[in-house]
Amino acid sequence: MKKKIILILIVVFGLVVGWFSYDMISLKKKNPGPTALMQQRGTPIHQTWVPLSRISPFLKRAVIVAEDASFYGHNGIDFHEFVESLKKNIEEREFHRGFSTITMQVARNLYLSPGKTIPRKLMEIVIAWVLEQTLSKNRIFEIYLNIIEWGDHIYGAEAASQHYFKKSAIELSPAEAAFLASIIPSPLKWGQWPPGPYVWQRVLILLNRMNPENLQP
């Protein structure tokens, strides 16, 4: 019986990997359409796709520091954060602390419905792994910066830059970039400029961490 269950799981895993791999190959050159989150939120969708080269280096640095400092060094899953998250969730007996890498967030936004369940998190990990095997790091990061939610019906760096600062994403200052990176965890709640005291404190902390002298090698 156990062997049958294991065999079924292997077959299901293979089918999932195969299906997503086939779908993701197109993402090498073709930008994705509306994400699962966009479809859930409904219209209007404010989004203007820009290549990674047209996004401020300050924003790229701010997002990496704030969301996934080891992005360019892992294969889609940060196992240290995974272990720490698992410990925390077991201690609190609920699914509270997350550990989503940038790649996992791309997986969630493109293919999965919002929510915090163990099966969905496992699927997120599998899809993230497939993404890493299929696309380059820069392509994954470009997709991320163009699809994530940055306010009410606002998606991607260019739309966010225009909405909050009336300028292009390539023109963002360090403080503006730090603000956008700081509100990623809760853009509908924190998405207002100038920010309130709590968000401004997050911005200041992130600005300090963005300083090259304070970044870990």
Q: Give dist(CA 37, CA 60) in Å, integer.
A: 22
Residue 21 confidence (pLDDT): 63
SS3 state at 151: strand
User: Residue 94 — pLDDT band, cuts 50, 70, 90?
Assistant: low
| Cis amide leading into 34 (omega within 30) | no
Distance CA 186, CA 200 (A): 14
Output the six-digit token pair for 8: 């079924």
Domain boundaries, the chain: 45-214
pTM of the model: 0.85
Domain 45-214 has CATH 2.40.100.10: no
> Is residue 169 within 8 Å of 54, Cβ to Cβ?
yes
> Position of tokens 């998250």?
85
Please say whether the beta carbons of 132 and 141 come within 8 A. no
Average pLDDT, the chain: 85
Backbone angles phi, psi at 86, to 5 degrees: -60, -45
| Amino acid at residue number 112 | L
81: pLDDT strictly greater than 70:
no
